[in-house]
Amino acid sequence: MTGRKPVKHPTAYRVLLCACCATLALAGAPALADESYPTEHTGLKVEKLGAVPADSMAAQVGLGGHILLLRRISIEPGGQIAHHSAATTPGVVYMESGTWTEGRDSGETVHSAGETFIEDADTVHWFFNRGSESASALVCDIKPAS
């Protein structure tokens, strides 16, 4: 004998414990997701490398009112790119140096030098440079002409 009193309704206690844990998990999840992404850019350098102007985009591919833009984006150590959507700006990103940690509601992905990823209509994300040196990427995207 262990000296413990037997529990009269062990199943009821298990159900209550599971219900409490599920409630806490579900109640805490939205608050964590809402507060886990940056709302401002910090430690960011954007260098325009080239652009196809709106008139050429209209004549060549029938995409009036848009430009094709190539940029080098660098994030300093500890820097970040704020939460944003690529819904209207499709793009291709080539990691040139260092690593960027991409955050999405579904989790994080680390992108290292030499890797390529896309920004499609469903992309909503943000980035951190958690490394000890500047990290840069070449970003080519289609943007509304302004």
3-state secondary structure of 132: coil
Q: Please, where are the H alpha helices in 2-145?
A: 10-35, 54-61
Q: Which residues contact 130 (CB under 8 A, 6 or more apart)?
A: 77, 78, 99, 101
pLDDT, position 7: 46
Q: Residue 44 burial (CB < 10 Å; 0-12/13-18/19+)? A: middle
pLDDT, position 146: 83
C-alpha–C-alpha distance, residues 28 and 3, integer Å: 38
Virtual torsion, Cα 120, 38, 114, 141, nearest 10 deg: 40
Contact yes or no for 71/139 (Cβ under 8 A): yes
pLDDT, position 118: 97
pLDDT, position 85: 95
Q: What is the pLDDT along the chain (146 residues), one digit of tens a residue?
A: 445 555 455 444 343 334 433 333 333 333 334 458 899 999 999 999 999 999 999 999 999 999 999 999 999 999 999 999 999 999 999 999 999 999 999 999 999 999 999 999 999 999 999 999 999 999 999 999 98
Contact yes or no for 92/141 (Cβ under 8 A): yes
pLDDT, position 36: 80
